[in-house]
Structure 1
Amino acid sequence: MQTMDGGCQCGHVRYTAQVTPEKAYLCHCKMCRKATGGVSIAFINAPKDQVIWHREPDWYQSSPIGRRPFCSRCGTPLGFDFVEGGANIDLTVGSFDDPSPFKPELNYAIESMLDAWTDVRHLPGHTSAENTKVIEMWKAAGVEPPE
């Protein structure tokens, strides 16, 4: 287990969690796609008693069996939890300050996978720094572009 910090984009909601980074997974279910706006979502399952919310997130009951923590200020999705509880909670990998240690160990809800998005290594790539118009907008706003 490793202690890692995370939170929402605007910094309003923060947490510290004990996690096992090698146990992350991708969820491809339609509910998660709709809840996050992504083609899949990367989660890490953590013991609830090992997650400390420094500021409690807002919660949205996304189905009769599930609820999702999020920041109502910036909209960042922070995880998934079963309404009936349980010992663990899923936290979104992308909400951790440094998600680089995470490694997926499985795909969940593969019946809903969008095949065109499973391997994109063959596509050309561009760095953020190559988009000079966006870089100029950041600088005009008085801040350095994010990584």
Structure 2
Amino acid sequence: MASDAKPVLTGGCQCGAVRFALSAAPVRISICHCRMCQKASGAPFAAFADIPNEQFAWTRGKPAAFRSSSMAERDFCAACGTPLSFRRISGSRIEIMTGAFDRPDMVVPTLQYGTESRLGWIGTIVNLPSKTTLQNYGPEKLGEIANYQHPDHD
């Protein structure tokens, strides 16, 4: 990414030790249900924004990496453990976890992969009873919680 380019999207880990910026919109945004992505994210699926390397830069710190297979590495923050990316070894693109963006609402998935491992209940979660964080904790308890995560901006 050119250093003088105005970032289109930014993000980083929960402690702020690792930050990134994109100089163009992602090429593709997808969800992967494969078992490797489930384990890497600690979640039922992983959501990724696919970005060409030349349009991406780590702007603060450098992530640690784990070689999760013979074809890929997954970056994460060594300080707080936040999963950050999936990269094909010697590939021309990086796939950033959408939850790591400062504005995850701007990276909307349009495609799913690894559906052979999709959990059967995924399609029904929209119908589960739901509460906001305020409804769950109440105003008094919520007011007592101190957030130690990096804010969603620099």
Is 1:64 the counterpart of 2:70 in the alignment? Answer: yes
Rate the CA distance shift 1:45–1:21 in 2: closer, same or farther, 3 A.
Answer: closer
1:123 and 2:151 equivalent? no
- Residue 119 of structure 2: aligned partner: 114
Which residue of structure 2 lines up, in the alignment, with residue 10 of structure 1?
A: 15
> How many pairs were matched up?
142
- Which residue pairs with 2:85 in the alignment? 79
Secondary structure of 1:38 counterpart: coil
- C-alpha deviation, 1:117, in angstroms: 1.2
Match of 1:100 in 2: 105
By how many angstroms is 1:16 displaced? 0.3
Q: In 2, are the aligned partners of 1:6 and 1:14 still within 8 Å (CA)? A: yes
Over the aligned positions, Cα root-mean-square deviation in angstroms equals 2.4
| Corresponding residue of 1:47 | 52
User: Distance between the aligned counterparts of 1:34 and 1:134, measured in 2?
Assistant: 35
- Using a 3 Å threshold, how does the CA distance of structure 1 residues 9 and 59 change in structure 2: closer, same or farther? same
Task: Give the TM-score, by structure 1 length.
Answer: 0.86
Residue 66 of structure 1 aligns with an amino acid whose one-letter code is A
Return the alpha-carbon distance in structure 1 between the equivalents of residues 101 and 140 of structure 2: 24
**Percent identity, aligned pairs only?**
37
Task: Quote the Cα distance in structure 1 between the aligned partners of 2:120 and 2:11.
Answer: 30
* One-letter amino acid of the counterpart of residue 88, structure 1: R
Cα displacement string for residues 42-94 of structure 1 (whole angstroms, at most 9, x for unaligned residues): 101001111110121111111121101100111000010012x1211100000
| One-letter code aligned to 1:81 | R
8 A contact 1:33–1:40 mirrored in 2 = yes
Equivalent residues of 1:23, 1:103 under 8 A apart = no
C-alpha separation in 2, matches of 1:81 and 1:142: 30
Decide which of 37, 40, 49 is 2:42's aligned counterpart: 37
Structure 1: gaps (5+ residues):
none
* Inter-partner Cα distance in structure 1 for 2:50 and 2:147: 38
| Cα offset, 1:139, TM superposition | 1.6
